[in-house]
Amino acid sequence: MLISVFVMTWLGIGAPFQGSPSPPDLASLIHSLPAEVRLNSPQPGLKLSEVLGKAPLQTVEIDLPALIELTESPDDRTRSIAILSLLGLVLPGEDSNPPVDTKRQSLLLPYVSRLAPRLFDPSTAAPCGLLFNVLSFIRPPSADLSHILLQVLEDPRSTKPLPPPPTPKNELPQSQLYVGANAVSGLLNTGATFYRDPVSNITEGYDTEEVQQAILRFINRPDQTPVSLSWTIQIIARAQPQNPALNDRLLLFLDAEDPAVRMELLRALPHLTFSQPAYASAKAHLAQIVSAPSSSAEFRSTANAILSCWDNNRHHLCH
């Protein structure tokens, strides 16, 4: 069963499809998708997503333009289901062989410019963001994808929450989404050079100067918001690529006016890699903050726990 099936179920589209060994015709499934949506089918696009993950690559390549066109439909629900269906191309299933089919994933790269508007579309932003993040791991990296993600960070909408998408009856509303923070995640992967550390045998990564500067500009935008900033800090901390020069600049937020931003950075410290001088300075500064009477009890307790074990090695996390 495809992971995309799980994603669709998570977004309230229906139960997994139990299909026959012979998959339905891909072109017919794409053609019938708008009608499925209009008729409120309990699982629109689910069979389509599964077939996209299994059909011969030549067949997918021929029929894909028709599905891309549906992602531009004037109907919110059709756009949403079409984007969700595309996840069948990029997310591996439990029985996939190979587990990650980069040739199948790469079929979407020529269409990233047409898919880019869906990143700011409330009906499609969540699955499209996931789609772009998966594509960001393809090597060699897509120049078009990198360009789009850099543009997102400069967009005035990228620091603000998207309006919630239309929610069908009997479904819980989705949480707010910040497109800029999601773009940072994809950009960190797209711009990264990955390598195997000879000592730890762990795959590490670092980004180009262009990517790091773009993220710094985004973080320091005058219209940056505390929630967007907190999300971005969390994403940088959890990213596989680590950039000490970028991470060093985050330490300024230990003194941020917003307490939520300060707490987010504090919790992120053990996950980030800093330059050794910045790490030493930050550890001393954190000890000073903890001793200040103005520090909250929660901040003080968390900081003391981190100070007792923080060694600037993100693979030695505090417990």
pLDDT digits 0-9 by tens, 22-64: 557 999 999 999 999 999 887 889 999 999 999 999 999 999 9
* Domain spans, the chain: 1-107
| Residue 163: pLDDT band with limits 50, 70, 90 | confident
Rounded CA Rg of the chain: 22
- Closest C-alpha among 273, 270, 259, 283 to residue 317: 270
Tell me: pLDDT of 179 over 90: yes
- Closest C-alpha among 48, 20, 12, 17 to residue 32: 48
Residue 116: DSSP 8-state: G
Question: Which whole number is the average pLDDT over 152-161?
Answer: 97
| Residue 10: pLDDT band with limits 50, 70, 90 | very low
Tell me: pLDDT of 9 over 50: no
pLDDT digits (tens, 9 = 90+) for 78-92: 999 999 999 999 997
Helix (H/G/I), strand (E/B), else coil: 257:
coil
**Contact assessment for residue 273 and residue 312, using Cβ atoms and an 8 Å cutoff:** yes
Tell me what pLDDT residue 22 has.
55
| Residue 231: pLDDT band with limits 50, 70, 90 | very high
Tell me what pLDDT residue 199 has.
80
pLDDT digits (tens, 9 = 90+) for 81-120: 999 999 999 997 666 556 778 999 999 999 999 999 999 9
Tell me what pLDDT residue 301 has.
95
- For all residues of the chain together, what is the average pLDDT? 89
Alpha-carbon distance 3 to 9, whole Å?
10
- The percentage of the chain sitting over the pLDDT mark of 90, rounded to a whole number, equals 77
Q: How many CB atoms lie within 10 A of CB 215?
A: 26
- The percentage of the chain sitting over the pLDDT mark of 70, rounded to a whole number, equals 87
Question: Which whole number is the average pLDDT over 189-213?
Answer: 92
Question: Which whole number is the average pLDDT over 218-235?
Answer: 97
Tell me: pLDDT of 66 over 90: yes
Tell me what pLDDT residue 3 has.
41
Alpha-carbon distance 224 to 245, whole Å?
21
Alpha-carbon distance 205 to 207, whole Å?
7
Question: Which whole number is the average pLDDT over 148-174?
Answer: 82
Give the lowest-confidence range in 5-19, 180-194, 251-265: 5-19
Tell me what pLDDT residue 75 has.
96
∠ Cα 96 186 86 (to 5°): 45
Tell me what pLDDT residue 167 has.
64
